[in-house]
């Protein structure tokens, strides 16, 4: 009884609740890590305390210190100002990390924050300053610099970009905001949007859209990237599909007289195609832009490269660990796992422009990738994607759609089959006419 009472002393529910609200950088639980041991481990650089000091990441530490020296020389600001700015928000930064040990709190934590924050700012700037006209805005390194020069940017940036998206390897963007504010001591505006944009452009250099101006400062780079994947079109086009065009279109909710599908599982892409569903690439890259209208399933383009597996695993881990983050990325991965079962499914989606294979892997390997990352996931049945699944399943249960699909796939798959069908129909019609004109004289012979 005494031992139990001692354990209950620190179990204040209100205190724990307040602490949980402050956390947004987590260690991946062992049960999740065991499924993909290498997906949650940075490759070249540690950002923050969780992986600081790992043996394979130590070579980058000297380059971090070079980054700090370069920022001090370029901005002509003393180191004391950067340290003081971080110390002001140090308690808030410490609370961002779940289960941060007591040995990390204090000067050691501030030192790592300043060093890692300056390094990340320099990496993002040098990656954006490779053109001649932008050299003065943050370059200044030798071309053969192994990390910050042109050669380093070419070979090092892909690894740093991937490490920035590891859920355990995050830096709070509040830290970057404070460091940028010190750099621009005479700038009175809010640099939060600029920090969001800087991080997003580094992670997704080919991104054509900008985050909304009123978007709050992200929690960390992984959070900003996730929000960019879920950004919807601010001016969506009205639905051109009429209410009576087909019974499988997505409406505002499930029909009350329709029996719900208890499984919630969507058939594979080839099976859906055989059932009359056509595939089309969505007009945006948002994962929210998954729609089903008039027998057409629209899906956003997904580029499959060497980092695809690790990026989605860490996005799903963040949704799993951070209360209130949402379940959209996890649901999208589960949906793609449902419709991608065999290499033929990958080939079909690739032909429709939905999958872009950037590493030229075999269709079998791409199918294996999606099937592997969707293990042991928790799903929220109330999100929009599940309504799409119900509409797809409802459409597939209509026999008329299957019959029409068989007709189209058999006789309308190419111009030659269409011509053959037309010729056959013409010959049949002529045969019927010939028979009619042959039989008529027999009944009307007297006349």
Q: Is residue 318 part of a domain?
A: yes
Residues 147-151 have a mean pLDDT of 86
180 shares its domain with 274 = no
The domain boundary, picked from 170, 188, 206, lies at 188
pLDDT at 442 > cutoff 90: no
> Residue 371: phi, psi to the nearest 5?
-70, -25
Question: Of 16 and 424, which is predicted with more confidence?
Answer: 424
Of these ranges, 33-42, 377-386, 416-425, the one predicted with the greatest mean pLDDT is 33-42
SS3 content of the chain, % helix, strand, coil (to 5): 55, 5, 40
Is residue 171 located within the same domain as residue 281? no
Alpha helices in 23-147 (DSSP H): 30-33, 61-75, 79-96, 107-127
Range of the domain at 374: 269-403
Evaluate whether residue 193 is within a structural domain: no
275 and 391 fall within a common domain: yes
Domain assignment of residue 147, yes or no: yes
For residues 156 and 119, give the distance between their C-alpha atoms in angstroms, rounded to a whole number: 13
Across 310-318, average pLDDT: 96
Element (H, E) at 297: strand 296-299
Which has more pLDDT, 147 or 233?
147
Cα separation, 222 vs 202, whole angstroms: 12
- Which helix H or strand E contains 356, and what residues bound it? strand 355-357
Tell which of 188, 208, 236 closes a domain: 188
Is pLDDT larger for residue 264 or for residue 206?
Answer: 206
Are 82 and 177 found together in one domain?
Answer: yes
What confidence score (pLDDT) does residue 34 get? 92
- At 150, list the tokens: 């042109």
Whether 357 and 370 have beta carbons less than 8 Å apart is answered as no
Co-location of 273 and 184 in the same domain: no
User: Cα 46 to chain center, whole Å?
Assistant: 22
- Per-residue pLDDT averaged across 32-47, rounded? 94
Rank 170-174, 262-266, 418-422 by mean pLDDT and report only the highest: 170-174
Q: Is residue 166 part of a domain?
A: yes
pLDDT (average), residues 154-169: 94
Instruction: Report the range of poorest mean pLDDT among 39-53, 331-345, 400-414.
Output: 400-414
Please give the DSSP secondary-structure letter assigned to residue 245.
S
- What tokens appear for 280 in the block? 């089309």
Domain membership flag for residue 306:
yes
Q: What is the pLDDT of residue 416?
A: 60
Question: What mean pLDDT do residues 123-141 have?
Answer: 64
Provide the 3-class DSSP secondary structure of residue 374: coil
Asked whether residue 228 is assigned to any structural domain, the reply reads: no
Q: 167 near 26, Cβ under 8 Å? A: yes
Q: Do 180 and 45 sit in the same domain of this protein? A: yes
Task: Report the domain count for the chain.
Answer: 2
Does one domain contain both 395 and 294? Answer: yes
Residue 45 falls inside a structural domain: yes
Cα separation, 376 vs 50, whole angstroms:
25
Residue 320: its H or E element: helix 308-321
Picking from 138, 142, 143, 151, the residue whose alpha carbon sits closest to that of residue 73 is: 138
* Domain co-membership, 183 together with 277: no
pLDDT value, residue 317: 95
Please give the Cα distance from 220 to 381 (Å, whole number): 27
SS3 124: helix
The reported pTM is 0.83
Judged against a pLDDT cut of 70, whether residue 96 lies above it is answered with: yes
Residue 15, in any domain of the structure: no
Q: Tell me which of 188, 203, 235 is where a domain ends.
A: 188
């Amino acid at each position: 009884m005494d031992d139990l009472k001692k354990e209950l002393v620190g179990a204040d529910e209100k205190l724990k609740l307040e602490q949980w609200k402050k956390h947004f950088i987590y260690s991946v639980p062992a049960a999740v890590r065991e499924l993909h041991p290498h997906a949650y481990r940075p490759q070249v650089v540690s950002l923050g305390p969780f992986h600081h000091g790992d043996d394979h990441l130590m070579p980058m530490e000297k380059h971090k210190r070079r980054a700090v020296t370069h920022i001090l020389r370029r901005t002509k600001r003393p180191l004391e100002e950067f340290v003081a700015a971080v110390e002001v928000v140090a308690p808030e930064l410490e609370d961002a990390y779940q289960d941060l040990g007591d040995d990390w709190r204090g000067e050691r934590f501030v030192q790592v924050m300043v060093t890692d924050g300056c390094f990340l700012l320099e990496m993002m700037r040098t990656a954006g300053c490779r053109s001649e006209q932008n050299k003065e805005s943050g370059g200044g390194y030798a071309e053969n610099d192994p990390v910050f020069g042109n050669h380093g940017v070419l070979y090092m940036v892909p690894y740093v970009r991937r490490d920035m998206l590891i859920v355990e390897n995050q830096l709070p963007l509040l830290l970057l905001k404070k460091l940028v504010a010190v750099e621009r001591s005479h700038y009175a505006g809010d640099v939060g949007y600029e920090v969001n944009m800087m991080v997003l452009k580094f992670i997704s250099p080919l991104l054509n859209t900008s985050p909304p101006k009123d978007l709050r400062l992200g929690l960390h780079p992984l959070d900003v990237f996730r929000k960019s994947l879920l950004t919807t079109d601010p001016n969506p086009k009205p639905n051109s599909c009429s209410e009576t065009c087909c019974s499988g279109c997505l409406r505002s909710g499930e029909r009350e007289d329709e029996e719900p599908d208890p499984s919630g599982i969507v058939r594979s892409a080839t099976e859906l195609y055989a059932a009359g569903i056509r595939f089309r690439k969505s007009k945006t890259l948002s994962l929210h832009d998954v729609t089903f209208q008039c027998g057409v399933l629209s899906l956003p383009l997904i580029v499959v490269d060497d980092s695809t597996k690790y990026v989605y695993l860490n996005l799903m881990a963040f949704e799993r660990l951070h209360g209130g983050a949402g379940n959209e990325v996890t649901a999208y991965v589960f949906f793609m796992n449902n419709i991608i079962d065999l290499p033929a499914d990958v080939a079909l989606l690739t032909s429709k422009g939905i999958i872009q294979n950037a590493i030229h892997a075999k269709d079998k390997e791409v199918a294996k990738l999606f099937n592997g990352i969707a293990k042991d996931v928790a799903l929220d049945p109330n999100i929009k994607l599940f309504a799409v699944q119900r509409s797809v399943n409802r459409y597939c249960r209509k026999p008329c759609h299957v019959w029409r699909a068989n007709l189209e796939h058999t006789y309308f798959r190419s111009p030659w089959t269409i011509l053959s069908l037309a010729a056959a129909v013409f010959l049949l019609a002529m045969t019927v006419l010939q028979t009619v004109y042959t039989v008529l004289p027999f009944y009307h012979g007297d006349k």
